[in-house]
Amino acid sequence: MRFFGGIFYDIEDERVIEAIRSIPRELFVPDEFKDYAYVDSALPIGYGQTISQPSLVAYMTQLLELDKNKEVLEIGTGSGYQTALLAKLAKKVYTVEIIEELQKRAKKILDKLGLDNIKYKIGNGYEGWEEYAPYDAIMVTAAPPEVPEKLLEQLKDSGKMVIPVGKPGHTQVLKLIIREGDKFIEEDLQYVRFVPMVK
């Protein structure tokens, strides 16, 4: 399926398609970029951060295979757009953001949309959110140079993590990681560009 006239991703999950169509992306975009809200591209949201293109958000979300029995940890609240999609599909979302002003702005929008199954934390994404671990799924929306050990530890057995990995200023690799007991199966999916994960 093609989203917003952008590049092709294999989006087959009807729940993901329906959820992303129900989310008004213009609410998450700064006023000066409202005219581009439905262009399939990343846009700046301030503080050196971006809102990802809708097709990539949908693709990454589909990989987690969420349902209303699953709890998901999100690293990087950012604009709140990805958070909204996760909240539409999962039982509970625990979202961590290092930039307090961004999360406050996102929370106002998400509250306005009536999404009340989200818990918020200001903190270092490398540490995850141990209090509510383990999680059925982990979505990482900023790129660390390598997969943080703490996030692996907070993933449930059979749980899935989607994470871009790579050095700042370079193209990163989007990975799908599945936990099988004490083992982690990694699959490299495609090249992407995300803002760096900071401590």
DSSP-derived secondary structure for 89-132: HSSEEEEEES-HHHHHHHHHHHHHTT--SEEEEES-GGG--GGG
Longest dimension (CA), the chain: 48
User: Is pLDDT above 90 for 111?
Assistant: yes
**Which residues does the annotation mark as catalytic?**
52
For 141-186, the pLDDT digits (tens) are: 999 999 999 999 999 999 999 999 998 778 899 999 999 999 999 9
Mean pLDDT of 14-23: 93
For residue 153, which phi and psi values (nearest 5 degrees)?
A: -65, -30
Nearest to 57 by CA among 75, 33, 41, 44: 41
Q: Pick the more confident residue, 127 or 12.
A: 127
Contacts of 51 by beta carbon, 8 Å cutoff, 6+ apart:
25, 28, 29, 42, 43, 45, 78, 79, 81
Q: What is the pLDDT of residues 31-85, one digit of tens each?
A: 999 999 888 888 989 998 999 999 999 999 999 999 999 999 999 999 999 999 9
CA distance 194 to 191: 10
Percent of the chain having pLDDT more than 90?
83
Residue ranges of the domains in the chain? 14-192
Fold of 14-192: Rossmann fold (3.40.50)
Q: What is the pLDDT of residue 9?
A: 65
